[in-house]
């Protein structure tokens, strides 16, 4: 009987070790995907400070992935859950984010915005063609809106990159 107990213990130990390795692989893949794109933005306008017009977001998009290329889709402007302007499907559609690239892109003017104060209250949603969406909001230069877990993942990735440890 001791032989079968030993076989069962070895089998269960190997299954547990295999499941742990698979879980570790899934967590690493989530970590890399959650931290591969960062987006920041600021509002630009034509004219002078006394008479600004044609408000539009100017994006700083970084693809920190070493192997994945992404395509941008559209930009949505929301206040709360309500759309403030129509989807912008033209200005960013099809722009390619190559691995390791930094892109400075401008969206088209948002017709319904008339002051910088309105711009600061708006959430800007940038969508990739894969369906992945980024929520941006900020008073001043807008930044990616993140939860605690994603913020911790970005912090950890920055620590790895400053230590020159390749992740991919």
**For range 7-29, the mean pLDDT:** 91
Range of the domain at 82: 37-162
Q: How many CA atoms lie within 13 A of 72 on its CB side?
A: 29
Question: Lowest mean pLDDT: which of 39-53, 102-116, 145-159?
Answer: 145-159
Nearest to 74 by CA among 61, 94, 88, 95: 88
20 pLDDT above the threshold of 90: yes
Tell me how many domains the chain contains. Answer: 2
**Any domain includes 167:** no
Question: Lowest mean pLDDT: which of 37-51, 125-139, 140-154?
Answer: 140-154
Confidence of residue 138 (pLDDT cuts 50, 70, 90): low
Both 28 and 108 in a single domain? no
pTM for this prediction: 0.72
Both 23 and 43 in a single domain? no
Predicted pLDDT of residue 104: 92
CB atoms within 10 A of CB 76: 19
Both 89 and 57 in a single domain? yes
37 pLDDT above the threshold of 70: yes
Q: Report phi then psi at 83, rounded to 5.
A: -70, 135
Predicted pLDDT of residue 11: 93
Predicted pLDDT of residue 146: 64
Mean of the per-residue pLDDT values of the chain: 84
Both 77 and 56 in a single domain? yes
Both 86 and 145 in a single domain? yes
Confidence of residue 95 (pLDDT cuts 50, 70, 90): very high
Predicted pLDDT of residue 21: 93
Both 13 and 94 in a single domain? no
**For range 98-114, the mean pLDDT:** 89
166 pLDDT above the threshold of 70: no
Q: Report phi then psi at 120, rounded to 5.
A: -70, -25
């Amino acid at each position: 009987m001791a032989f079968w107990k030993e076989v069962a213990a070895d089998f269960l130990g190997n299954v547990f070790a295999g499941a742990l390795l698979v879980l570790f692989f899934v967590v690493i893949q989530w970590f890399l995907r959650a931290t591969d794109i960062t987006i920041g933005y600021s509002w630009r306008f034509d004219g002078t400070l006394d008479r600004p017009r044609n408000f539009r977001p100017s994006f700083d998009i970084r693809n920190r992935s070493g192997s994945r290329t992404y395509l941008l889709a559209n930009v949505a402007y929301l206040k709360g859950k309500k759309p403030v302007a129509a989807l912008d499907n033209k200005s960013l559609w099809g722009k390619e984010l190559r691995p390791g690239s930094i892109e400075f892109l401008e969206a088209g003017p948002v017709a319904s915005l008339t002051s910088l104060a309105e711009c600061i209250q708006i959430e800007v949603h940038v969508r990739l063609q894969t369906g992945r969406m980024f929520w941006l909001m900020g008073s001043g230069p807008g930044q990616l809106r993140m939860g605690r877990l994603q913020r911790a993942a970005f912090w950890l990735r920055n620590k790895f990159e400053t230590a020159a440890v390749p992740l991919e």
